[in-house]
């Protein structure tokens, strides 16, 4: 009971704080806030990958911070900026999450902590975190006009659509899995996840995503495309969740850390988002939304 109460209190603090940040922070500040959050998750990722030495992890995180700075600097032009670099990184990120399905199908790959295994997992951290950050910044900064008399840019709302879709999917999967779950999704990686839970997550994620997207002023004719966007996003959010579960299984860890009371670490909260954001950004662009 106390654990559930702690979990709920943490959620009530984190949820509204994240929504307010997405809607009202300028994109430059949102990029900084997201970078700090994602780099914190990367710190945990490196520990799960077998980098126990804190100084080594700190150096690796610092290198990724410099990579983020370099991407932002390289995207700046005299005319204001170009998204070409960010778009290229997003494509790389989507390709990685597609390839990660092969890893998930081979549980033992990388489980024995050899040198090559650690290197591959470190590279996977880069391919997960940097594209997700690029996608977040790209979505948040999308110059598509504004709503509410210019108070909330549409790009901010599109990022909220992505995040709310993933958050709703997590909730739907939890309750549908508990109520109807009989068929295991990936029993060796995450015994509690079920196919019924995944279906419940897809349904609730689509409902919430389509509800939030209405605040962009989107035409009704575009809602089927939004439904497809949300469905694909939820499917890949499940891939991100499973991949982090795989890392934890290999490392013999229950959570990525104990930073957030009742919720584990940053990576435990962000795993689904890391996979979902690049896919959301790419599919949104392909569908012309």
d(CA 231, CA 252): 32
- Say yes or no to pLDDT of 214 above 60: yes
Name the DSSP letter for residue 167.
H
Residues 6+ away with beta carbon under 8 Å from 96: 124, 127, 128, 131
| CA atoms in the 13 A half-sphere facing the CB of 53 | 4
- Say yes or no to pLDDT of 3 above 50: no
**The pTM is what?**
0.91
pLDDT tens by residue, 159-190: 999 999 999 999 999 999 888 888 899 888 98
Once rounded to an integer, what is the mean pLDDT over residues 38-56?
91
Residues 6+ away with beta carbon under 8 Å from 201: 168, 169, 170, 171, 172, 173, 176, 234, 237, 238
Each domain of the chain, given as residue ranges in start order, spans 2-286
Q: Where are the alpha helices (DSSP H) in 25-153?
A: 27-48, 54-74, 84-105, 115-140
- CA-closest candidate to residue 130, choices 278, 283, 280, 279: 278
Q: What is the model's pLDDT at position 145? A: 47
């Amino acid at each position: 009971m106390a654990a559930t109460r702690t979990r709920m209190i943490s959620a009530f603090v984190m949820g509204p704080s994240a929504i307010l940040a997405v809607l009202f922070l300028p994109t430059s500040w949102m990029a900084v806030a997201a970078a700090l959050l994602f780099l914190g998750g990367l710190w945990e990722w490196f520990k799960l990958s077998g980098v126990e030495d804190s100084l080594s992890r700190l150096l690796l995180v610092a290198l990724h911070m410099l990579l983020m700075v370099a991407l932002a600097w390289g995207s700046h032009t005299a005319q204001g900026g170009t998204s070409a670099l960010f778009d290229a990184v997003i494509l790389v990120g989507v390709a990685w999450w597609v390839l990660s399905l092969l890893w998930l199908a081979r549980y033992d790959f990388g489980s024995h902590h050899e040198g090559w295994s650690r290197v591959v997992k470190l590279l996977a951290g880069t391919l997960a975190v940097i594209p997700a950050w690029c996608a977040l910044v790209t979505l948040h900064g999308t110059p598509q006009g504004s709503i509410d008399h210019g108070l909330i840019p549409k790009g901010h709302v599109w990022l909220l659509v992505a995040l709310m879709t993933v958050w709703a999917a997590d909730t739907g999967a939890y309750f549908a899995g508990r109520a109807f779950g009989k068929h295991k999704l990936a029993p060796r990686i995450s015994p509690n996840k079920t196919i019924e839970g995944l279906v419940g997550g897809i349904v609730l994620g689509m409902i919430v995503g389509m509800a939030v997207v209405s605040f962009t002023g989107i035409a009704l004719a575009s809602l089927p495309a939004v439904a497809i966007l949300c469905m694909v996003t939820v499917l890949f959010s499940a891939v991100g969740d499973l991949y982090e579960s795989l890392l934890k299984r290999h490392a013999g860890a229950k959570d990525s850390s104990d930073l957030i009371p009742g919720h584990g670490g940053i990576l435990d909260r962000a795993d689904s988002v890391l996979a979902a954001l690049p896919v959301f950004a790419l599919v949104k662009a392909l569908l012309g939304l």
